[in-house]
Amino acid sequence: MSKFPPALSRVSSDSVRPDIRDRRDLEVIVDDFYARVREDELLGFIFDKVAKVDWSSHLPRIVDFWETALFRSGTYRGNPLQRHLLLSLRTDMSWKRFQRWLDLFFDTVDRHYAGDRSEHLKRLAEDMARVLSRRIESLEDEE
């Protein structure tokens, strides 16, 4: 049995939402999601105080990341694992924080979209969170 509980998916059945179609839809998700993250008590300070994210450059790069992951566009160039490993040296990056990130991500996707691509995007996010968390945990075990 995995030590990681499944991320929560809150799909509302009272409205019809389109599936994710293109980069513009990913921009909607990323913009809404990170606005929520910045206000979140558990996560916001990591981005604004610890990482000191430049949001004007970060948000388009995150859209590039998800566009590459979901549509295989090849627009993203970078190493998110390295960035998260370095960040874990400066603040707590426990599974609790990744779980909160996933809950907010799933909720944001579900607010706007529903369908196969939406579900695939959430699976990609969960896989990414698990990989990052395991690598950070293994780094801590080596110390």
Give Cα separations from 15 to 11, 18, 52, 99, 105 (angstroms): 9, 10, 37, 26, 19
The per-residue pLDDT for 2 is 41
Residue 13 has pLDDT above 60, yes or no: no
Q: Concatenated DSSP letters for 1-54?
A: --SSPPPP----TTS--PPP-SHHHHHHHHHHHHHHHHH-TTTHHIIIIIS---
The pTM of the full predicted model, rounded to 2 decimals, is 0.86
Contact 122, 10 (CB under 8 A): no
Give Cα separations from 103 to 18, 43, 57, 98, 122 (angstroms): 20, 12, 24, 9, 10
- The lowest-confidence range among 7-16, 74-83, 117-126, 134-143 is 7-16
CA 4 to chain centre: 16
Contact 101, 129 (CB under 8 A): yes
The per-residue pLDDT for 119 is 98
- Ordered by where they begin, the domains of the chain are 23-142 (1.10.490.10)
Residue 60 has pLDDT above 80, yes or no: yes
Residue 100 has pLDDT above 50, yes or no: yes
The CA-CA-CA angle for residues 76, 46, 121, to 5°, reads: 40
CB atoms within 10 A of CB 105: 23
